[in-house]
Chains A and B, each alone.
Chain A
Amino acid sequence: MIEDRQILRDIWDGRIPVCFTLSQDEYTSPDQPDVYYLLVPRLSYFPIVSDKVVRFFSQYVQPDTQGEMWLEFQGQPLKWHYPIGVLYDLYAADQDQLPWNVIVHFQKFPESELLRCGSRDAVESHFIATVKEADALKHRGVVMSGMQKRDHKQLWSGLRDDKFEEFWTINRRLMEQTVENQFRSIPFRIYQIEQPLIQKLFQPLHEDGKPATLKELLEQMLPSVLTPQPNNGGSRVLIQGIEPPLETPLVWLSEYMSHPDNFLHICITSRSLP
């Protein structure tokens, strides 16, 4: 049961300053274009916040070569359908450099690595589908299927317009648990660089009723994370940009630190040696 709304609010208010730069070989103007700064919500998706970025850089590129915008960080194309905070934690958090320097491209779309987005409608469809997927794991999908279409719309518009109350009025129902109606399985995804993401079934409670912890999840899914590696500083386990204690019950993390898509996104990165 959600008791501490301040935590939800703090998670919601997480922001990342991003500095967008147009790719060097893509501008046709004689002068190098300025960079563009935005303070973006961790919980959002790039296509929701980047309209202004597209408009700003469009003036520097030839219209006939302007394809769909895509973003890159240090050679790594960024997937628009991952939440911004997840992309940052996975690829950039270990460098600890803010603002986050992201390169903007309008050409040579990396078809093999990125899905095309097309429009905001695609983001909405993706978002709602992911919430449904999470609900299928938690409650066999009955909460989402029991909602009205306008409730789904409100989840989306709450996220899109950065309206905490609007979103949580509906999302509360997806997070509710009673003694008889516990989460059947915790919707989680584990990300590592250059590895496919891990998503499996994982029950929040042991048979004796004790809650399973983050550590137990990792032991089962990715035991190497918990063993110290001699050649580097070991692994960092990041959720919403912080390293939660490994003893934290997973169900608590799911309720408080999930993204709006209702998944708990866990990033594993290597700890750089001091």
Chain B
Amino acid sequence: MTAMRRYLAVMADTDDGDASSNPKADEETKSEETEEVSVTVDAEKRLEPPTVVEAQPTTQQQSKISILMKAAGDAPILKVRKWAVDPDRTLSTVIDKLNKILKTAEGESVFVYVNQSFAPSPDHKLGTLQQCFGSDGKLVLHYCKSQAWG
């Protein structure tokens, strides 16, 4: 995981560059990336019994869901935009991850929206959001550094 974090941090640097060359950040200008990012946050680990997430990719109950991360406003586009996540994780996992990748400074926040309309409560399970608001089995999340949709 540490290696993955470092990898993401490096990517975040490249992302900043991408953003400046892509003023219309919301547009899907990049080819679909299929690389999987396992989202794990230490704070959540404490609450749950220890599970080996990466070692059992084929377990049916734990099958991951895919979310597509889209930039809104002036947020930089991510290198890896398709994330595979455990449906039992909460939205706060995604927000924490984004904070790391986007290197959110203190006092800044990341906002994550569903349907380009509402920011769900961070304790919402990703599986719930995908079931209620996903299309083609995929959940699309828009993220930005300022409130995009009141």
**Chain B residues with Cβ under 8 A from A42's Cβ?**
none
Q: Determine the chain B residues whose CB is within 8 A of the CB of A129 once the complex forms.
A: 118-121
**Quick check: A152 and B150 within 8 Å, CB to CB?**
yes
CB–CB A125/B46 < 8 A: no
A125 near B119: Cβ-Cβ < 8 Å: yes
Residues from chain A with Cβ under 8 Å of B132 in the complex:
137, 185, 199-201
The digit string for A133-157, where 1 denotes a CB below 8 A from any CB of B, is: 1001100010011000100100000
B131 touches A144 (CB 8 A): no
Q: How far is the CB of B119 from chain A (nearest CB, A)?
A: 5
What is the interface residue range for chain A against chain B?
Answer: 20 to 34
Interface residues of A (CB under 8 A from B): 79, 81, 111-112, 115, 125-126, 128-130, 132-133, 136-137, 141, 144-145, 149, 152, 185, 196, 199-201
Is B118 a contact partner of A132 (Cβ separation < 8 A)?
A: yes
Q: A200-B131, A201-B132 are in contact. Are A149 and B150 (CB under 8 A)?
A: yes
Known A137-B132, A200-B131, A200-B132; contact A115-B122, beta-carbon cutoff 8 A: yes
Contact call A132/B121, Cβ cutoff below 8 A: no
Number of chain B residues close to chain A: CB under 8 A: 19
**Which B residues from 36 to 56 make CB contacts under 8 A with A?**
43, 46-47
Residues of B within 8 Å of A145, CB to CB, are: 117
Taking chain B's interface residues, is the majority helix, strand, or loop, or is none over half, making it mixed? loop
- A152-B150, A200-B128, A201-B131 given; name 14 further pairs at CB < 8 Å: A81-B121, A111-B43, A112-B43, A112-B46, A115-B121, A115-B122, A129-B118, A130-B118, A132-B117, A133-B118, A136-B115, A137-B132, A199-B132, A200-B131
**Count of A-B contacts with CB under 8 A?**
47
Q: How far is the CB of A82 from chain B (nearest CB, A)?
A: 10
Is B123's beta carbon under 8 Å from chain A? Answer: yes
CB distance from B26 to the nearest CB of A (A): 17
The interface residues of chain A lying within 8 Å CB-to-CB of B114 are 133, 136
B residues less than 8 Å from A199 (CB atoms): 128, 132
Bound Cα distance from A152 to B133, whole angstroms:
22
The 8 closest A-B pairs by CB, nearest first: A132-B118, A129-B118, A129-B119, A199-B128, A133-B118, A141-B117, A132-B117, A136-B115
B125 touches A196 (CB 8 A): yes
The A interface, classified by DSSP as helix, strand, loop or mixed, is: helix
Min C-beta distance of A135 to chain B, whole Å:
9
A145-B125 Cα distance, complex, nearest whole Å: 24
Q: Which of B101-128 contact A (CB under 8 A)?
A: 114-115, 117-123, 125, 128
> Please, how many angstroms separate the alpha-carbon atoms of A196 and B120 in the complex?
16
Q: In whole angstroms, how far apart are the Cα atoms of A129 and B118 in the complex?
A: 5
Q: A20–B85 Cα gap in the complex (Å)?
A: 41
In the assembled complex, the Cα of A6 lies from the Cα of B132 at a distance in Å of 32
B122 touches A141 (CB 8 A): no
Q: Give B62 Cβ to nearest chain A Cβ, in Å.
A: 15
Q: What residues on B are CB-neighbors of A200 within 8 Å?
A: 128, 131-132
List B contacts of A141 (CB < 8 A): 115, 117-118
Give CA–CA (A230, B88) in the complex, Å: 31
Q: Mark B4-45, 1 if CB is under 8 A from A, else 0.
A: 000000000000000000000000000000000000000100
Establish whether residues B118 and A136, one from each chain, have CB atoms under 8 Å apart when the complex forms: yes
Closest A residue to B149 by beta carbon equals: A132
Q: CB distance A115 to B118 under 8 Å?
A: no
Whether A144 contacts B117 by the Cβ 8 Å rule is yes
